[in-house]
Each structure stands twice: as C-alpha cells, then as structure tokens.
Structure 1
Amino acid sequence: MADAPDTERQAVEPDAREVLSVSQLKDRIASVVQDTPALNGVRCIGEVTDLHKNSTALYFTLTDGEAELPCMIWANRYREMDADLEDGTEVILEGDIDYWVEGGKIDLKPWGVIVVGDGDQAAAVERLRSELEERGWFDDEQKQQPPAFPERVGVVTSLRGDARYDIQNAIHGQDPTVDILVKDATVQGSNAPTSIANGVHHLDRSEDVDAIIVSRGGGSDSNLQAFNTERVAEAIFTANTPVVTAIGHTDDRLIADQVADVAAITPTAAGEYIVNVYLPRCPNSALNALRYSESESTQSTIKPKWNPIPPRRRVRNTDTGAKSRVHGPRSPPPPHLPALWRRSSRT
C-alpha cells in the first residue's frame, strides 16, 4: 500500500511540538528578556507622558512621537535621583527591559535619569497654544451658544468607539426625537487631525445641523495629540455651528477644548448638555411633535444599542453635505449645571 501524502499524514498525525500553557509561555518570555544582554543597561531618549505616582512607584510613558514604552521607577530609587520629572520633560533613561509576567507587558525600569529639557512635542503644543491665545481664539467673546431645541446634532467621532453610543444614549434619554448625524473620523494617529477637521467641516455644511459634538474616549497623552493641532483648532473656531468637545475624559488641557464653545468632561455629559442645559425638555410634548419633520436622505442608518419607544428617532452616518447653517452672534453659555459641562477658555 502506497504511503499517504504528506498533507494527509499531517491531517491525521498529532503535532509533536510542545504545547505550553499561558503561564509557561509567559515564564519563557520573561527568561528570554532577562537573559538577553542587549536588553540590559539600555539607554533610551524620549518624552515623558501620562506620569502618575503613588507611595510605591512612579509610572509614565516614554514616547518619541511615534512609539511608546511604559516605564516604572521605584519610589525609593526616584527619591535618590537628581531629577524632577513631569509630563513633557525630555529625558535619557538608562535601565533594564523587564517583562511583567502577571500582566504580560514589557516595560523599562530605569536606574538612571538625565533630564534634557522640555520635549519637542510639549514645546510645540505650548507654542501653538500661545499663538492661538494671541489671536483671540480662546476669548469668551468668540463663544457661541447652541440652540435651545436642537433638531439635529452632528457628532464627529470614531464609529468603532463607545463615545458615539454614550452621546446618543444621553441625547435620546432626554429627547428621543433629536436627529443625530454621525461622521466617522480617525481620532488618533498621523491622519487624525485631517480626518477630524474634515468631519467638522462636513457637518458644518450639512443639512441644518444645530450643534456639533467632537468626541473620543480616553487615551494616553500621545493618543490625544490630534486635538492639540492647529488644523483641528481652526476647523472648530471657523465653524458657523456651535461646537462642543468631549475628549479623553480629562480636565481642560487640550487646545481643541479651549477653542470649542463648550468643553464637556465626558461624551455623556456633552449629550446631556446639548439637549438639557438651556430649557426644560418635554420629549413627548406636542411641541416636539410639531417641530419635527422627516426629510429624504440617502444616508445609512446606525442603530443604537437600545431601542426606546418613539419610532421616529434617527441615528445616521452622514456622507453628504449641504448648505451651511449660520447661527446668531456668539455669546457665552449660561453659568449653570456645572457638573455637566465646563467652559473651554483657560484662566
């Protein structure tokens, strides 16, 4: 009887190679990292971001603008170092690459730190911030107020993130008749500034959009840098439509937040602010029924995570533009409901 082809033999014979458990494989990775001389005593230059500390250790991310590396310094060792680290500081670190078995992560554990100065990325952001402040882009006089009863709200965010669901749930929880137009955008990386700016421009020209929310979920400082660019700031500032930002679940530190008419702490807060901050809402009232009208559209429907009672609520992904809508003179929003929003201008 002729021998079976190799392909058939592979199909019936079990693989003789060793099969490792997750713990065994992680232990092997840790041994390789520990026993590799090229990973011990390395020197690396970069910029400190996402710095936080506790009584045990100092944690931060080292970045060169393209790649990131987690770092950890024990608190007692840091106290002995002649270095004062903060976000935006450019440093040269010397230490060992370590593999954390339990978490399955590689990081750098420095024993030496040389402070070079302010990092290029942080310095560039501060230069742009100063320039835009001189132009008056952060002034209260430039802020405009969203309408009391928005019929359509545009949202610039990633369709793959949770921010859009948080926004639409917040809006439709207060007023199910509001039409939401979602413009998909890349929210991090080199293409993000252009994508976000194009999204704002698109919705600003779209069919009677009353307010625009620019949002994304949390992320590291490096992941949020698109919102510290002039391209995004200019798109927000020049929009005829009021713009609310809700970026990264952070306090007010991004240029986009400073330029925006209102900067919310979270995507949920942005949605609640749009429909709830000005006048009492009556989602089932005759007034809302009268002011709402259907319009023909070729845009695809995006279904929310839940399905409330009103059948006419629409959440759509928009790919078409129309004549821009011009609102009244810019004026600051009223100073109430502080838990839901924060003014975007810095003090």
Structure 2
Amino acid sequence: MNFEFPDTALSVAGITNYIQSLLEEDKILRQVWVTGEVSSANHHRSGLFFTLQDPDGTAGIKCVAWNSQVAKLVQIPAVGEQIIILGSIRLYPQRGEYQLTIWQAIPAGVGLQALRYQQLRNRLLSEGLFDEERKQPLPPHPQTIAVVTSPTAAAWGDIQKTLKHRYPGLQVLFSPATVQGEQAPESIVKAIARVEKDGRAEVLILSRGGGAVEELACFNDERVVRAVAECSIPVITGIGHQRDESLVDLVADVCVHTPTAAAELVVPALSELYAQHQQRIDALYDAVYEVRTSAENQLQTLRNRLQRLGLDRQVKQEMQKLQWKRQQLLQITSRRSQQATQHLEMLRQKLATLDPKAVLNRGYAVVRQENGAIARTATELTVGQELLIQLGQGEVKVKVTEVTTKTQKD
C-alpha cells in the first residue's frame, strides 16, 4: 500500500510548538484557578511536584511549585487534601507533557471563603473604610430609630422589647430585609436605601441573630459593606455573637455583638436619665451651697477687718480734715475778694481823674468847630466862624469876632 505524504505535514517539534503556543498564550490558562484532590506529592530539590485529580479519579494534572514559591503557599499540598491552586499551563517539548506551574495553593471550601474575606478586608482597609476618623457619633437622645433586619427573626422582637422598656414613646421605623442567603446582600442594601430616602431616622440598627459562618456571609458582601459605609446617618450593628465579626461590623459607626445590646446602646433608659438628672440637681445644690457658704465667710471676714480698722474714727478724722480745709478756703476767698475790691476802687478813682467831664465840671470848656473837630489854637479859627462851646452843664454856640495870636516867649 502506498501513502502520499502531504507537503503540509508538521514535524514533532512543529506540532509541539503549536500546541505550546495554544496553551501558554491562552488568556485563561495563563492564570487559572483549579480545584481538586492531591493524589501524589514529591519534594524534590528544585521544588514540590504533585498530581491534582478530581475526587472520582476521572482526570488528573501534574503540578509543580518551585522552591522559591513554596514558602508563599497558604496551604502546602499533601496527599488526600482538597485544595484550590492558582497557576499557569507550561508545556515541556522534550517529554511532550504539560503541567501547572503553581503560584498559590489554598484549602478548598471554607478556606477559600477565608481567603476571599481577607483579600476584601485588606482592600477595604487600604481605602480607609475602617478608620475611626470617618465614623459618626451616635445621637445622645434620638427620637426616631430605624431597624433593618428580617421581620421573622428573633432579633426584631428583642429590639422592640428592649426599646419599649428603655425609652417608651420612641418612634421606630422598620425596614425589612432578608438577612440570609443569596438574595440577602441586595435586600439589605435596598432596606438601608429606604431608610435614607425616608429621612426621619436619626440612627439605624442593622441586626440579626447569631448563626453559622455561611449564614452570616451577606454581612461580608462588598455591596452591603459599602452601603453601610456610605450611609448618611450613624449605623450600629448587632450581628451574631462575639466570635462572628463581620466586615460590616468593622465599617459600622458602632459595633456590638447582639441585637439587644444594639438596642440598649442606641437609647438611654429613662430610669438612667432620671438618676442622672437627680445627680445634676444634687450637684447644683451642693455648688450653690458651697458658693453661698464661701460668700458668707468672706463677708464675715470683711466685717471683722472693718471693726479692727476703726472705721468710725477714720470717718471723723476725715470730716475734721474737710472742715479745716473748708475754713481755709473761705479765708483765702475772703482775702482775695477784699484785695480785688480795693484794686477796683483804685482803678475807679484813677478813671475818674481822667474823665473829661470832670475837667469841665471844674470850669473848663471844649471848643469845637463846625465839623466837630476840637479847636486847639487860635490860628485855626477865622473871624465870623461859628463855634460850639461844650461846658460842664450844656453847650453854647458862638461866633468869632476877633482872633488874637500871641507869640509865647521863653
């Protein structure tokens, strides 16, 4: 029998290289998670070689974790254990085999959930969602409280009972939500959004009773965590018990471990308020009494000091000083008044001697020309000129009949 070989036939290396490119360049196979059971394991000087297979033995794959990576594995593969590995496909042309080069190995089941929890926690922590600085304080005396929980859960009954007992008359807004199962995260987010949209609540309680880890998974859901972190009103959580810390507990403004504890913390008891009020009254009474007693003591001290100082005697001495100064002032004023009167009389007499009327009263006269000017020499006058003679009593009008001019001799 004769066979005709086609020109396109590939060599072993050619087909191997082709398969290698398909495997190693595939986006999924370059970083793939695989779960299975370790069927064999061998520690070699270069690394850890093991086989991962399905529990029913229908398929298996060879794996290797090089020594540089073994110390970084969360779970060291051991025969019989269920693990989840992260790695990439590598093909070895000489043997015509492929295997997974391992970067990480973790326990399957609960171990995977724990890893995802830790990864999300680290991411949220790096964003600052757990920082104390961003958390809001609870209002001291809220009048309206919102509760987000399941209407069928015992937590809702515990919260109602506690609030009614501690703070009767408080308005409680109930926003029901599913708090377990796949639908829980979306239900809780919507319940919180309803409370914010309503706008009446001053604080929000997010709660449910205790449960298994898987039952509390919704409180580790990133959607729920961010809804609590972004809530505009303070949020207090009462989820499960102390051993069941969730990411929602870490991001909430206040975290307690039971629904009852949340209700007790969110409002004060009226009996406690009354006791505090009575304490303030007693403290105020004591303060007033202390101030009054201190003032009375100070007043008595001042009285005693005044008595020792002899205030009456000092007042009498001051009055005597004032009387003496008054007499001095009167004497000085009287003396200065007499001096002023004498000086005034002297000026009056001097003025009288200078008064022109006094000269006229002694027999002298003033001769004035028609224009009112005083005639001082005969040469200023002419015959026939009319003159006005001013006497001590009255005036006389005359006419010049003769002008005689005499030369004064030494």
Structure with the higher helix share, 1 or 2:
2
Bigger radius of gyration among the two: 2
Q: Which has the higher contact order (CA 8 A, sep 6+)?
A: 1
